[in-house]
């Protein structure tokens, strides 16, 4: 039995000791940290990402170096380097540059107040740079999809020879509010949060996923692990103006635009729903009213599957809104179905961006499953007889325009080659 003095000293030591992760509300901590990234107006974040993937017959390793620096006045610098492409995107608020390292080409343009916010990939060179552009956005959305998370024991890790005391949090597929779009995709993510600065300094993702052979529907299982270290995380940094200027290397060539990539061989196979009757789904509005898709029989329908956390989906919205203005009065019914974990996120986006069509929420993933959704954005076009004429994930707006133009002569002006479609 402890003496009173020893017991008293033990109590004082216990009270003074740092709180361990076992006592931390893991989801609340993730929410608070993610909100810091969401609120950031200026930042400098760098990431070193290493990914290994394997199955019983193959093993691969990849590495990406990402930098995202953003400050007020339209100033930014995004850099991405990988074994498949490397590029730099820079703006000083007046002029913007894009440089493809391996092509040794760069563009220089004047920034316009009406510049699109689209983040479309123009070349494989820019793949990692697009990841850099999404770096902070992805961390800001970290906890939005979760209903729970688990606190693990504290750890001290070393980054750039600095020891960092960290809270450690983990979540798995079971912690998501809704199931994954890919139903045979499983993920476990572990996150290290610097106790002092309350920023994310390391993440590890363990995935059970698959790859699809070109021209085949066969799914080949793959195990993958991605470890990302964040050696630089600064909010409200003081960056020199030279950061936002681009000085082309001596061997770089100025071009009006980059060569257009040809990806025809990589285009997805047509959905097996094309030419068949659309699934009979029930759509439930926020006020509880039920509508069946078949109730629109006799009218063509465009159905968009999307989510606010999906960058390409958000990027596509202005083009879709323009297309809506060209086709709604001609009889095309527009509907969308979001996959957000919290339907309020989609509702707020719809209101803020003045999206004119009716949106429904896919609460349990069954609506997307009915349309064999494997990724978003997914666009589905249904003719007046209820037959699917277009069903494609990650589609281009020009492809959708071509499909709509085939619905009838009243829609011919939506063709990509028409004045409206340019």
Helices (H) and strands (E) in the chain, counts: 8, 19
Query: pLDDT-derived band of residue 270, with 50, 70 and 90 as boundaries?
Result: low
268-414 maps to which CATH number?
3.40.30.10
pTM given for the model: 0.68
Note the Cα 133 to chain centre separation in Å: 10
Query: pLDDT-derived band of residue 267, with 50, 70 and 90 as boundaries?
Result: very low
Query: pLDDT-derived band of residue 422, with 50, 70 and 90 as boundaries?
Result: low
Q: Of 251, 146, 237, 173, whose CA–CA distance to 199 is shortest?
A: 237
Mean pLDDT calculated for residue range 17-40 = 79
User: Under a CB-based contact definition with an 8 Å cutoff, are residues 79 and 226 in contact?
Assistant: no
Note the Cα 168 to chain centre separation in Å: 24
Mean pLDDT calculated for residue range 317-333 = 93
| Least confident window among 46-55, 176-185, 225-234 | 176-185
- Burial state string for 248-265 with b = 16 or more CB within 10 A and e = fewer than 16: eeeebeeeeebeeeeeee
Mean pLDDT calculated for residue range 378-400 = 92
For residue 194, what are its two tokens?
């610097």
Measure the CA–CA gap between 349 and 21, rounded to whole angstroms.
35
For residue 335, what are its two tokens?
């509907």
Mean pLDDT calculated for residue range 13-42 = 74
313: CB partners within 8 A, 6+ apart: 306, 307, 376, 377
Q: Domain ranges in the chain? A: 21-254, 268-414
305 has pLDDT over 70: yes
- Burial state string for 321-342 with b = 16 or more CB within 10 A and e = fewer than 16: eebbebbeeeebbbbbbbbbbe
Query: pLDDT-derived band of residue 249, with 50, 70 and 90 as boundaries?
Result: very high
Query: How confident is the model at residue 117, as a pLDDT?
Result: 44
Query: How confident is the model at residue 62, as a pLDDT?
Result: 94
Within 10 Å of residue 159's Cβ, how many Cβ atoms? 17
237: CB partners within 8 A, 6+ apart: 42, 43, 44, 69, 71
Query: pLDDT-derived band of residue 11, with 50, 70 and 90 as boundaries?
Result: very low
Highest-pLDDT range among 197-206, 284-293, 333-342: 197-206
**In this structure, what are the phi and psi dihedrals at residue 133, rounded to the nearest 5 degrees?**
-65, -30
User: Under a CB-based contact definition with an 8 Å cutoff, are residues 214 and 170 in contact?
Assistant: no
For residue 197, what are its two tokens?
């600065």
Give ∠ CA 249-250-255 in degrees, rounded to 5. Answer: 75
Measure the CA–CA gap between 207 and 20, rounded to whole angstroms.
27
| Least confident window among 7-16, 46-55, 330-339, 394-403 | 7-16
Please indicate whether residue 10 or residue 217 has the higher confidence score (pLDDT).
217
> What is the DSSP secondary structure assignment for residue 377, as one 8-state letter?
S
Q: Please give the helix or strand (H or E) that residue 402 lies within, else none.
A: helix 397-405
Measure the CA–CA gap between 187 and 226, rounded to whole angstroms.
11
Burial label, 217 (beta-carbon count in 10 A; 0-12, 13-18, 19+): exposed
Please name the fold of domain 21-254. Answer: outer membrane lipoprotein receptor (LolB), chain A (2.50.20)
| Least confident window among 7-21, 157-171, 314-328, 408-422 | 7-21
Within 10 Å of residue 374's Cβ, how many Cβ atoms? 17
Query: pLDDT-derived band of residue 151, with 50, 70 and 90 as boundaries?
Result: very high
Would you tell me the crossing angle of helices 311-327 and 397-405 to the nearest 10 degrees? 30
| Least confident window among 3-17, 137-151, 202-216, 394-408 | 3-17
Please indicate whether residue 270 or residue 250 has the higher confidence score (pLDDT).
250
Measure the CA–CA gap between 109 and 256, rounded to whole angstroms.
9
The answer to whether the peptide bond before residue 166 is cis (omega within 30 degrees of 0) is no
Within 10 Å of residue 45's Cβ, how many Cβ atoms? 24
404 has pLDDT over 90: yes
């Amino acid at each position: 039995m402890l003496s009173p003095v020893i017991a008293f000293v033990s109590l004082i030591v216990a009270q003074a000791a740092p709180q361990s992760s076992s006592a931390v509300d893991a989801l609340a901590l993730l929410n608070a940290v993610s909100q810091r990234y969401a609120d950031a107006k200026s930042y400098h974040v760098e990431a070193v990402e290493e990914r290994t993937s394997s199955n019983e017959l193959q093993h691969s390793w990849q590495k990406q170096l990402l930098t995202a620096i953003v400050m007020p006045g339209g100033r930014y610098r995004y850099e991405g380097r990988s074994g498949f492409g490397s590029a730099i995107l820079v703006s000083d608020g007046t002029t913007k540059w894009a440089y493809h390292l391996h092509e040794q080409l760069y563009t220089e343009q004047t920034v316009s107040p009406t510049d699109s916010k689209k983040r479309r990939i123009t070349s494989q060179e820019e793949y990692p740079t697009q990841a850099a552009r999404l770096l902070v956005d992805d961390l800001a959305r970290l906890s939005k999809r979760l209903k729970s998370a688990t606190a693990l024991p504290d750890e001290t890790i070393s980054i750039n020879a600095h020891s960092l005391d960290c809270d450690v949090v983990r979540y798995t597929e079971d912690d998501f509010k809704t199931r994954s779009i890919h139903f045979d995709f499983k993920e476990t993510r572990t996150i290290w949060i610097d106790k002092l600065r309350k920023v994310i300094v390391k993440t590890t993702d363990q995935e059970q996923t698959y790859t699809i052979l070109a021209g085949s529907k066969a799914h080949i299982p793959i195990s993958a692990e991605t470890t990302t270290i964040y050696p630089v995380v600064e909010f409200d940094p003081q960056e020199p103006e030279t950061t936002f200027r681009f000085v082309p290397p001596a061997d770089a060539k100025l071009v009006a635009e980059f060569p257009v990539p040809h990806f025809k061989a990589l285009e997805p196979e047509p959905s097996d729903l094309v030419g068949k009757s659309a699934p009979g789904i029930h759509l439930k509005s926020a006020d509880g009213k039920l509508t069946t898709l078949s109730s629109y029989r006799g009218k063509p329908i465009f159905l968009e599957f999307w989510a606010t956390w999906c960058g390409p989906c958000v990027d596509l919205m202005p083009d879709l809104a323009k297309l809506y203005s060209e086709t709604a009065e001609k009889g095309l019914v527009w509907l969308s179905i979001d996959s957000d974990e919290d339907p309020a996120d989609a509702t707020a986006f719809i209101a803020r961006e003045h999206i004119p069509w009716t949106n429904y929420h896919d609460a349990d993933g069954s609506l997307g499953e009915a349309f064999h959704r494997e990724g978003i954005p997914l666009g589905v076009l249904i003719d007046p007889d209820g037959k699917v004429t277009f069903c494609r994930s990650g589609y281009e707006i020009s492809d959708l325009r071509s499909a709509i133009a085939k619905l009838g002569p009243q829609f011919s002006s939506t063709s990509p080659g028409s004045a409206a479609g340019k």
